[in-house]
Structure formats: structure tokens, C-alpha cells
Amino acid sequence: MNKDMDRSKAKERYAAGKMRQHSTRALFFIGGFGAASWAPLIPLLRERLAIGEDVLGMMLLCIGIG
């Protein structure tokens, strides 16, 4: 009987580990997709704000650090 309980606990731990793995992957996918979809808009942002490349670079650096 103990072996059955150990197997069921192992299955539960395996399922919980898989769920954590999928949620971590989903989180990184959402973050990457957001960054990838925002990156092409950077030149438009520079034109709209009328700032130089140096200021834009510093702004992007601060966003990345933050």
C-alpha cells in the first residue's frame, strides 16, 4: 500500500513540475513577444519625440535596467 501512495505522490510531483515548467515558458514567451513587437516601433518613437540617437540609446538602456 505504501508503494501505491509513493507512486501517486510521485505522479503529483511530476504533474506539478510540468505545470511550473509550462507556466515559466509561457511567461518568458509573453515577455519576449512583447519586446519583439515593440522593437520595430523604436524609430517612430525617436521621430515623434524628436530626440537624438544618444538620448534614445540612454533611454533604452534605462528601460532595460529598470
43 exposure class (CB count in 10 Å sphere: 0-12, 13-18, 19+): exposed
User: What pLDDT is recorded for position 5?
Assistant: 62
User: What pLDDT is recorded for position 2?
Assistant: 63
User: What pLDDT is recorded for position 1?
Assistant: 54
User: What pLDDT is recorded for position 25?
Assistant: 95
User: What pLDDT is recorded for position 48?
Assistant: 92
Residues of the chain short of pLDDT 70, as ranges, are 1-5
Range of the domain at 59: 2-65
> What is the domain count for the chain?
1
